[in-house]
Amino acid sequence: MIQRILLSLFLAFGTAAKAQDWSEAAIVVTRDLAGGGTALGTTIFPNSPHPAFADRALGIVYVHIEGSAGNFGVEAGLFERDAGGWQMHRRVTGLIGSSPLNPQVNSSGFYLTTSTLGPG
C-alpha cells in the first residue's frame, strides 16, 4: 500500500515527459537504472519537449529498498538517443531527494532542484 502511494506521488511529480510518447525512453531508463529492483517511479527530463527532437535526457528512477518499510533509493543517469534508440551514456552520482523540478538543460548539462526532508 505504501509503495502504491509513493508511486502515485512520484508519477504525479514526474510530468516533464508525460505530454508526449516517451515510452521507449522510459523503458530504457527504468531497465538500466532499476537494476532488477522494484521501480517506484521514473522521471525523464529531455533536452527537447518533443520526442522526435530529443537526443539527450536525464533519467531518474526511485527504487524500493528491499526489506524496508517503504524506503527508496534514487538512481540517475544521462541518456542519449541515436539511430539505434535510447541508451545510457553514464550514471549520475550524488543525487538526493525527490520531487525533481525546475529542470534546466543547456550545452553544459542538466540542472534541477529536488526536495529533501529537513531536521525535526
120 within a domain of the structure (yes/no): no
Q: pLDDT category, 107, cuts 50, 70, 90?
A: confident
22 within a domain of the structure (yes/no): yes
> Are 112 and 98 a contacting pair, CB within 8 Å?
no
DSSP per position, 18-83:
TSS--HHHHHHHHHHHHTTS-EEEEEEEESSSSTTT--EEEEEEEEE-TTSSS-EEEEEEEEEEET
Domain that holds residue 35: 2-113
Answering whether pTM is above 0.85, one says no
118 within a domain of the structure (yes/no): no
How many domains are there within the chain? Answer: 1
> Are 91 and 76 a contacting pair, CB within 8 Å?
yes
**How do residues 75-105 score in pLDDT, each as one tens digit?**
999 999 999 999 999 999 988 888 888 888 7
| Between 43 and 10, residue with greater pLDDT | 43
Instruction: Output the pLDDT for position 21.
Output: 79
